Amino acid sequence: MDGQKTILVAEDEEDIRELLKSVLERSGYNVVLAEDGKKALVSVREKKPDLIILDLMLPFLSGWEVCVEIKRDPKLSQIPVIVLTATSLDQAKLAKVNADDYLAKPCSSQELTTRVAALLKKSSAAEKTKPDANPYGTNRLL
């Protein structure tokens, strides 16, 4: 594996989706796209991205519903989620779906990449401090 982080962008507006993809790819990330909530959930389960950027107003399944499903699944719940919204969002609503952060649309590319990098760093640090299920480590032959 080359160490390149994968980010899923779930956004129904094609222009915004492509803009987010462009900004993230220029920052060195691999980007997977989904244009609705159902496709987003399928992509999350198949690709296991390192981070998800999720528009709240998606067709078929809303971003709220997608986020709840992701955070409810023990295999996916550790994936950081940034929700995108065109409306103001209070911390109580954010906490209700267990999203890790949110960005108000429109946002600058610098704000986007800064938040993404911070969450990936936090997620990576949390992963490193997780206790190993094998008390002898993973590199043992026995």
**Which of 15, 3, 60, 42 is CA-nearest to residue 52?**
42
126 falls in which pLDDT band (50, 70, 90)?
low
128 falls in which pLDDT band (50, 70, 90)?
low
> How large is the average pLDDT for residues 28-47?
97
Site of tokens 């989620």: 81
Q: First CA to last CA across the chain, in angstroms?
A: 25
pLDDT reading at 97 higher than 60 = yes
Instruction: Please give the class, per CATH, of domain 6-128.
Output: alpha beta
> How large is the average pLDDT for residues 46-59?
95
pLDDT in tens, 98-121: 889 888 888 899 999 999 999 999
Site of tokens 């499903």: 69
State the pTM of this model.
0.83
Over pLDDT 70: what percentage of the chain? 80
Domain boundaries, the chain: 6-128
- The tally of CA atoms less than 13 A away on the side-chain side of residue 140 is 7
Query: How far apart are the C-alpha atoms of 55 and 121, rounded to whole Å?
Result: 22
DSSP-H helix ranges across the chain: 14-26, 37-47, 63-72, 91-96, 109-128
80 falls in which pLDDT band (50, 70, 90)?
very high
Question: Residue 90: its pLDDT value, please?
Answer: 60
pLDDT in tens, 8-36: 999 999 999 999 999 999 999 999 999 99
**Which of 42, 31, 110, 30 is CA-nearest to residue 70?**
42
Average pLDDT, rounded, for the chain: 86
Q: Are 106 and 77 in contact (CB under 8 A)?
A: no
